[in-house]
C-alpha cells in the first residue's frame, strides 16, 4: 500500500469520525421513533380516570402502531371551543354533552360516523347513544362510556332499604351539594330532570328536553316546587355552599347528618367507603313520583370526529368496539373508578367487581326506557341558564319559581330557530338496537 | 527506514484522531454551558415570570373582587378597575406563556386548561356581582370562584404551581453544572488536550532527532493553538457563574410582582455571556486549523519515504 493511499485513509478516518459526531449531535433534535402516524384526542378524564383511559389508548398504540396524543382537561367545553375556533381541533373529542355535540354537528365541524363505523357495530348501540340532528340523519357521536342517574345512594351497613322511604320525606336527610367550580349548579338540574321524569314520565320529559315543552308548563312548575318544598330553607342553603364531591361523603360519617344522596353512578368511586354504598331507584323516594316508573335518566360521553384521517377512523372504530371497552373495563375494574358502557356487547363482569356495579351495568343494558340527561342535551345557553336558575331557586326556596321559569322560557324562545344551537330530536329510547 | 514511515503514519492517525476527539469534547462541553445563556434569557425568564405574574394577579384579584362587590358604590362602579386589571394581566400572561412555556407539551396542555378556567372564574365573579342583592347566592358564587381558583390540584393556582415547578426543573437543568459537564471540563477535555499536547511534543522531538531540524514550525503552531483552550475555560467559568446568579434571581419568592426589574436584572447579568456563547462557532474552525497544521507538518516527512523500497 502506498503512503499516499495510507494518509488518504487517515484523512477518511478523521472525516468519518466527524460525520459520526455530527450525526450524534443532530439526532438530539429529532424525535426518533417513526410511527404509523398519530391521532389527537381531547376528553374530560383526568386523574385516575385519565390514567385508565390512557392505558386503553396505549393498548391501541401497541396494536396498531398509531401514536395517540391525549389531552385531558376539566375545562373541556372552553378548551374545545377555543381549539375549534382557532382551526386546530383535536382529531377526536369525547363530549359529555350531547347538546354540544349537536351544536358542532350543526356547524358542520363533525364527520358523520355512518361511513366510519361498520353498521353492525353502530346499530348495536341504541338510537339513544348515537345522537343525530334529525330522526334519520347521520350519526355524529357514539357513547363510549355511560352512567346511570335516577338513583339514590345510601350506606347499606346503616340503613335497611325498607326504611329509606320514611327518611326521604325529610329534607334534612338528603346530602346535597351544588358546587362544582365553573359548572356549579348541575346537580340541581339533575334533581329537576329526574323529578319531572319520575313524576310525568318519559314523553313529557322528552318533549321538554327537546325544546317542545315550555318552562312555564304547570308540570314543570310542579317539579320545581316539589324540590323546593322537600329541601326547605336549610338543606337548600347548605346545598348551595357544599361541593358535590363532598356532599355524599357525609353518608359515611360516624354520626351522619344525612342518609341519602341523589347522584349518578360515577359518584361511588369518590365515596370514602365505596364498598358500603348501595343504591335504590329514585322513583321510590322522590316526592310525588310515579312509584311504578321504569324510566331512568342516563348520561353518556360521546366520541366525535373533528378531523377525518385514517388514524382517527381507526381509533374511533376501536373506541366503540366491545373489545376495547372490555379491555378498558377490566383494566380499571380493580381500581376505584369503574367505567360503565352503553355497548350491550360488553360483558357485565368487565364493568366493576361487585353486585352493585353489575346492577348498574344491567340497568344500562336492559332497561326498557332510558332518557339522556336533559340539560346535557340542551343547547349550551339553555343549559347554563338552567344551572343558574337552579342555584338562584335554592338561595330562597320560599319564593315561587315562576319568575325564574319565565326567564328560562325566554331563553328557550330566544333559541328557537337558532341554527348553530340546535335541540336534539330525541333523548329517550331503549338501550339496545331496535328489535 | 520503513519503520520510521510506519511510525509517522501511525502517529499522524493518532494525532488526527485525538484532535477530533478533543475538539468534539471541547465543542460539546463549551456548547453545554453557553447554549444555556441564550435559553435562560430568551425563553426561561419570560416563561417563569409570566406564570408568576398570573399567579400573583389572580391571587390578588379574588380579594379585590370580594371587596368591590360588597362596596356601597358597587352599583355604579361595577367590579373595580383594580380587579379588571388583575384579571386582564392574568389572561395576557397566560396567553403568552401558553405559547412559550419551557415545561413541554404537558405544561402547554395544562396552561390551555388554566386559561379556560380563568375565563370561567371571571364569569363566576360576574355572577356574584349580579347577585349582590342576594347575599346567600352572592356568597355561593364567591365560594365557587374561590374553588375554581384554589381547589386542591384541579384549581387554577395549583395547576400553575405545577407548571411553574416543571419550568423551575428546566431552569435548574439550565443553570446547574451537571455531572456530565463536570466530567467533561475536569477530566475529558483536559485529558484529551494534555494527551494531544504530549503527542505533539513527542512528535516534535522525534522529528528533531530523526531529521535534524531544530523545530517543525507547523507542529509548533499546532501546539501553540492548544493554549486557546484557556480563554474558553475562563469564559465557561464566567458564563456558569452568571447562569447561577440568574437562576437565583428567578427563584426568589417575590418575582410575581417584580417581573420587570427581575427580567432586566437577568438580562444585565447575562449580557456579556452572549458574545462568549458566540465563540462556539470558532471551535470547529480551530479544530480544522489544528488538523490542517498537523497534516501539513507531518505529510512531507512521510512523503520523503514514498519511493523508497520496503
- Here the ipTM equals 0.87
Q: Are residues A345 and A409 in the same domain?
A: no
Mean confidence (pLDDT) of chain B: 91
pLDDT at residue number A32: 42
Cα–Cα distance, A239 to A234 (Å, whole number): 8
Q: Are residues A182 and A127 located together in one domain of the fold?
A: no
* The pLDDT of residue B256 is above 90: no
Domain that holds residue A44: 38-147+298-366
For residue A116, the domain's CATH number is 3.40.190.10
- The tally of domains found in chain B comes to 1
| pLDDT at res. A1 | 47
Say how many residues make up chain B. Answer: 310
* A4, A14, A79 member nearest B113 (Cβ): A79
Residues A315 and A275 in one domain: no
Angle at A32 between CA A27 and CA A38, to 5 degrees: 150
Q: What is the pLDDT of residue A26?
A: 47
pLDDT digits (tens, 9 = 90+) for B167-199: 999 999 999 988 889 999 999 999 999 999 999
pLDDT of A370 above 80:
yes
Domain count along chain A: 2
pLDDT tens-digit profile of A213-254? 999 999 999 999 999 999 999 999 999 999 998 999 999 999
Q: Ramachandran region of residue B65, left (φ > 0), alpha (ψ -120 to 50) or beta?
A: alpha
Among the candidates A318, A348, A366, a domain finishes at A366
User: Which residue segment(s) compose the domain that B51 sits in?
Assistant: 2-303
Residue A78, min C-alpha distance to chain B (Å)? 5
pLDDT given for residue B114 in this prediction:
93
CA dist A429 and A344 (Å) reads: 14
Task: Read off the pTM.
Answer: 0.86
- Give the rounded distance of the alpha carbon of A229 from its chain centre: 30
- Express as a percent the part of chain B with pLDDT over 90: 65
So what's the pLDDT on residue B301?
85
> Same structural domain for residues A142 and A157?
no
Examine residue A5 and state whether it is found in any structural domain, yes or no: no
Report the residue of B112, B128, B135 to disrupt the A interface, i.e. the one with the largest count of A CBs within 10 Å.
B112
pLDDT band of A282, cuts 50, 70, 90: very high
Chains A and B form CB pairs within 8 A to the count of: 109
CB contact under 8 A, B127 and A388: yes
Q: Do A391 and B140 touch (CB under 8 A)?
A: yes
pLDDT for A423: 95
List B residues 94-123 in contact with A (Cβ-Cβ < 8 A).
109, 112-113, 115-117, 119-121, 123
Per-state percent for chain B, helix, strand, coil, to nearest 5: 85, 0, 15
Chain B residues near residue A393 by CB distance under 8 angstroms: none
pLDDT in tens, B72-123: 988 888 899 999 999 999 999 999 999 899 998 889 988 988 999 999 999 9
Mean pLDDT score of chain A, rounded to an integer?
90
- A18 — pLDDT class (breaks 50, 70, 90): low
Residue where a domain stops, chosen among A366, A382, A412: A366
Q: Could you report the per-residue pLDDT of A204-219, keeping only the tens digit for each?
A: 999 999 999 999 999 9
* Residue B233 lies inside a defined structural domain of this protein: yes
pLDDT at A19: 59
Contacts of B12 in chain A (CB under 8 A): 7, 10
Asked whether the predicted pLDDT for residue A9 surpasses 70, the reply is: no
User: Per CB distance under 8 Å, which residues of A are interface residues toward B?
Assistant: 2-4, 6-7, 10-11, 13-14, 17-18, 21, 25, 46, 71, 73-75, 77-79, 82, 178-182, 184, 237, 240-241, 243, 388, 391-392, 395-396
What pLDDT is recorded for position A31? 43
Do A406 and A314 belong together in one domain?
no
CB within 8 A of B167, min separation 6: which ones?
A: B44, B47, B48, B51, B101, B102, B103, B107
What is the structure's pLDDT at A435?
42
Let me know if residue A11 belongs to a domain. Answer: no
Q: Looking at residue B274, what is its pLDDT?
A: 77
- Rounded to a whole number, what is the distance in Å from the CA of A25 to chain B's nearest CA? 9
pLDDT one-digit tens code per residue, A128-144 = 999 999 988 999 999 99
The closest CB to that of A240, out of B17, B136, B147, belongs to B136
A2 lies in some domain: no
pLDDT tens per residue, range B261-302: 898 889 888 887 877 887 888 899 999 999 999 999 998 888
Q: What is the pLDDT of residue A98?
A: 96
Flag if A21 and B144 touch (Cβ within 8 Å): no
Amino acid at each position: 500500500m502506498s503512503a499516499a493511499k495510507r494518509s488518504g485513509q487517515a484523512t477518511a478516518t478523521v472525516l468519518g469520525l466527524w460525520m459520526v459526531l455530527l450525526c450524534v449531535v443532530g439526532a438530539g433534535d429529532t424525535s426518533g421513533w417513526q410511527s404509523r402516524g398519530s391521532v389527537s384526542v381531547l376528553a374530560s378524564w383526568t386523574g385516575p380516570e385519565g390514567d385508565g383511559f390512557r392505558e386503553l389508548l396505549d393498548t391501541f398504540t401497541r396494536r396498531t402502531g398509531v401514536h395517540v396524543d391525549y389531552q385531558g382537561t376539566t375545562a373541556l367545553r372552553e378548551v374545545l371551543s377555543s381549539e375549534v375556533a382557532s382551526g386546530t381541533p383535536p382529531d377526536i373529542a369525547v363530549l359529555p354533552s350531547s347538546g354540544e355535540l349537536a351544536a358542532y354537528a350543526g356547524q358542520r365541524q363533525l364527520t358523520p360516523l355512518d361511513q366510519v363505523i361498520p353498521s353492525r357495530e353502530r346499530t348495536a348501540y341504541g338510537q339513544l347513544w348515537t345522537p343525530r340532528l334529525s330522526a334519520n340523519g347521520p350519526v355524529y357521536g357514539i357513547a363510549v362510556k355511560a352512567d346511570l342517574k335516577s338513583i339514590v345512594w345510601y350506606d347499606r351497613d346503616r340503613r335497611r332499604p325498607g326504611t329509606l322511604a320514611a327518611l326521604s320525606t325529610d329534607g334534612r336527610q338528603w346530602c346535597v351539594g351544588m358546587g362544582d367550580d365553573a359548572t356549579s349548579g348541575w346537580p340541581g338540574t339533575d334533581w329537576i330532570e329526574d323529578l319531572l321524569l319520575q313524576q310525568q314520565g318519559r314523553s313529557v320529559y322528552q318533549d321538554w328536553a327537546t325544546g317542545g315543552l315550555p318552562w312555564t308548563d304547570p308540570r314543570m312548575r310542579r317539579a320545581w316546587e316539589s324540590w323546593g318544598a322537600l329541601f326547605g330553607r336549610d338543606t337548600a342553603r347548605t346545598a348551595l355552599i357544599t361541593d358535590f364531591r363532598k356532599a355524599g361523603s357525609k353518608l359515611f360519617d360516624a354520626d351522619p347528618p344525612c342518609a341519602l344522596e341523589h347522584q349518578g353512578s360515577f359518584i361511588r368511586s369518590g365515596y370514602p367507603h365505596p364498598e358500603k354504598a348501595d343504591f335504590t331507584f329514585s322513583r321510590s323516594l322522590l316526592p310525588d313520583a310515579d312509584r311504578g316508573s321504569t324510566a331512568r335518566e342516563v348520561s353518556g360521553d360521546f366520541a366525535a370526529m373533528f378531523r377525518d384521517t385514517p388514524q382517527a377512523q381507526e381509533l374511533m372504530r376501536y373506541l366503540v368496539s366491545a373489545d376495547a371497552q372490555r379491555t378498558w373495563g377490566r383494566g380499571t375494574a380493580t381500581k376505584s373508578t369503574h367505567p360503565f358502557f352503553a355497548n350491550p356487547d360488553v360483558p357485565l363482569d368487565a364493568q366493576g367487581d361487585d353486585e352493585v356495579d353489575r346492577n348498574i351495568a344491567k340497568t344500562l343494558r336492559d332497561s326498557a326506557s332510558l332518557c339522556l340527561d336533559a340539560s346535557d342535551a340542551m343547547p349550551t345557553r339553555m343549559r347554563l341558564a338552567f344551572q343558574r336558575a337552579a342555584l338562584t331557586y335554592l338561595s330562597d326556596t320560599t319564593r315561587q319559581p315562576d319568575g325564574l321559569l319565565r326567564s328560562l322560557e325566554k331563553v328557550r324562545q330566544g333559541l328557537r330557530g337558532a341554527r348553530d344551537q340546535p335541540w336534539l330530536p330525541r333523548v329517550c329510547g331503549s338501550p339496545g338496537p331496535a328489535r | 527506514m520503513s519503520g520510521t514511515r510506519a511510525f509517522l503514519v501511525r502517529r499522524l492517525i493518532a494525532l488526527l484522531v485525538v484532535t477530533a476527539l478533543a475538539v468534539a469534547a471541547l465543542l460539546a462541553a463549551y456548547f453545554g454551558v453557553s447554549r444555556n445563556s441564550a435559553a435562560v434569557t430568551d425563553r426561561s425568564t419570560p416563561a417563569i415570570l409570566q406564570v408568576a405574574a398570573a399567579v400573583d394577579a389572580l391571587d390578588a384579584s379574588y380579594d379585590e373582587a370580594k371587596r368591590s362587590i360588597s362596596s356601597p358604590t358597587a352599583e355604579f362602579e361595577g367590579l373595580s378597575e383594580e380587579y379588571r386589571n388583575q384579571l386582564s394581566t392574568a389572561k395576557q400572561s397566560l396567553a403568552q406563556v401558553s405559547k412559550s412555556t419551557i415545561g413541554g407539551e404537558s405544561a402547554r396542555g395544562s396552561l390551555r386548561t388554566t386559561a379556560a378556567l380563568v375565563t370561567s372564574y371571571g364569569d363566576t365573579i360576574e355572577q356574584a356581582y349580579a347577585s349582590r342583592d342576594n347575599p346567600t347566592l352572592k356568597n355561593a358564587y364567591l365560594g365557587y370562584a374561590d374553588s375554581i381558583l384554589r381547589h386542591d390540584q384541579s384549581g387554577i393556582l395549583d395547576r400553575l404551581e405545577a407548571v411553574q415547578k416543571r419550568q423551575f426543573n428546566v431552569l435548574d437543568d439550565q443553570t446547574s453544572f451537571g455531572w456530565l459537564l463536570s466530567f467533561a471540563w475536569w477530566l475529558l477535555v483536559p485529558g484529551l488536550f494534555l494527551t494531544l499536547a504530549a503527542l505533539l511534543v513527542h512528535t516534535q522531538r522525534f522529528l528533531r532527532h530523526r531529521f535534524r531540524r531544530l523545530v517543525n514550525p507547523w507542529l509548533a503552531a499546532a501546539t501553540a493553538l492548544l493554549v486557546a483552550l484557556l480563554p474558553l475555560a475562563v469564559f465557561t467559568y464566567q458564563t456558569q457563574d452568571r447562569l447561577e446568579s440568574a437562576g437565583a434571581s428567578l427563584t426568589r419568592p417575590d418575582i410575581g410582582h417584580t417581573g420587570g426589574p427581575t427580567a432586566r436584572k437577568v438580562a444585565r447579568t447575562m449580557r456579556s455571556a452572549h458574545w462568549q456563547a458566540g465563540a462556539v462557532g470558532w471551535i470547529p474552525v480551530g479544530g480544522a486549523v489544528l488538523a490542517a497544521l498537523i497534516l501539513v507538518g507531518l505529510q512531507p516527512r512521510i512523503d520523503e519515504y514514498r519511493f523508497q523500497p520496503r
